[in-house]
């Protein structure tokens, strides 16, 4: 893999950012449409998430009497942290827009920052359901993040680097040899984490209207207008971040390792295919699985951590 010139990296970076920004709401539309079809409903139009963002952005923000500056700053922080995370993930080519300026640890840290800010904003609004959603989100995150890091560590050890571009390039060039039993265990653990991170069944119900069962949506009840638009858009971008992490570490086939027109065309098609496939799978899970009781979630997420740890240990002790 030959490093591209500065001009080529700028073009690749701009192209990936534009692709990410445009596709993120569409993935939500695909997930909702798949869920509706499996439930024998017509469902919303695929472009409805774009219309919702435009509608909320045009409205005026209304805030609680007890809300302070934190509530006004949180949507910007959450959106900025999530968007920044996308800049370190090689979605199309093996070179992320900010390749060399951070690794997978930074991406996980940015995701944690966005989660912390969102929970803090929900608490600052003073609503009962926002506080309940925040406490649940933080409790789940303490179980999600170890599994996430352990799963990604398995791929990092296999590639000999924590740089996501290096991991993706190594996996793409290795072909089927990349998919060792240790890596498959890490991928299985990450798949469980991905469902929890994106807020889908059986961990959370993204379409629930029952406040007592809300986790992520409970933290958005006090948000209105542009703030709701930014938080919703950040949640849509987070899906791209999680899928991009999974693809870079565990499904790197198709990522461009050379700057040829054919390689880039194949890479764009592969990236879109992975994103759409993941959105379809999330819709399938929402339609076919029931939400687990909140007390059952630690067992599920602890299982992910154990599976990831076994995969990492297998890679360290049996490197071949």
pLDDT the model gives residue 212: 67
Buried b (16+ CB within 10 A) or exposed e, 71-96: beebbebbbbbbbbbbbbbbbbbbbb
pLDDT the model gives residue 301: 95
pLDDT the model gives residue 5: 77
pLDDT the model gives residue 37: 96
Distances (CA, A) of 59 to 22, 62, 69, 130: 22, 9, 20, 21
Q: pTM for the complete prediction?
A: 0.95
Q: Using alpha carbons only, what angle is made at residue 107 by residues 104 and 109, rounded to the nearest 5 degrees?
A: 110
pLDDT the model gives residue 2: 63
**CA–CA separation, 67 vs 121, rounded Å?**
9
**CA–CA separation, 220 vs 284, rounded Å?**
24
pLDDT the model gives residue 119: 94
End-to-end Cα spacing for the chain: 23
Regions in the chain scoring below 50 on pLDDT: none
pLDDT the model gives residue 129: 84
Cβ partners under 8 Å of residue 242, min gap 6: 194, 197, 198
pLDDT the model gives residue 158: 93
pLDDT the model gives residue 221: 85
pLDDT the model gives residue 4: 73
pLDDT the model gives residue 144: 95
């Amino acid at each position: 893999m030959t490093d591209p010139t500065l001009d080529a990296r700028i073009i690749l970076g701009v192209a990936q950012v534009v692709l990410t920004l445009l596709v993120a709401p569409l993935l939500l539309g695909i997930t909702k449409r798949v869920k509706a079809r499996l439930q024998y409903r017509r469902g919303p139009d695929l472009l409805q998430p774009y219309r919702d963002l435009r509608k909320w952005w045009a409205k005026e923000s209304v805030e609680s009497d007890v809300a302070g500056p934190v509530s006004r700053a949180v949507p910007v922080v959450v959106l900025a942290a999530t968007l920044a995370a996308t800049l370190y993930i090689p979605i199309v080519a093996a070179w992320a827009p900010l390749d060399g300026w951070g690794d997978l640890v930074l991406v996980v840290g940015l995701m944690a920052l966005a989660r912390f800010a969102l929970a803090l904003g929900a608490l600052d609004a003073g609503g009962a359901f926002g506080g309940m959603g925040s406490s649940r989100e933080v409790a789940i995150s303490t179980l999600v993040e170890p599994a996430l890091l352990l799963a990604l560590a398995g791929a990092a050890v296999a590639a000999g680097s924590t740089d996501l571009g290096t991991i993706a390039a190594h996996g793409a060039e290795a072909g089927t040899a990349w998919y060792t039993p240790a890596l498959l265990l890490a991928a299985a653990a990450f798949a469980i984490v991905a469902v929890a991170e994106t807020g889908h069944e059986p961990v959370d119900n993204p379409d629930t209207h029952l406040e007592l069962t809300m986790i992520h949506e409970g933290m958005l009840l006090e948000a209105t207008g542009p703030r709701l638009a930014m938080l919703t858009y950040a949640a849509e971008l987070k899906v791209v971040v999680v899928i991009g992490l999974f693809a870079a570490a565990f499904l790197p086939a198709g990522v461009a390792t050379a700057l040829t027109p054919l390689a880039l065309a194949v890479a764009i098609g592969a990236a879109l295919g992975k994103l759409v496939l993941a959105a379809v799978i999330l819709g399938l899970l929402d339609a076919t699985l029931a939400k687990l009781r909140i007390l059952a979630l630690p067992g599920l997420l602890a299982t992910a951590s154990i599976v990831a740890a076994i995969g990492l240990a297998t890679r360290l002790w049996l490197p071949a």
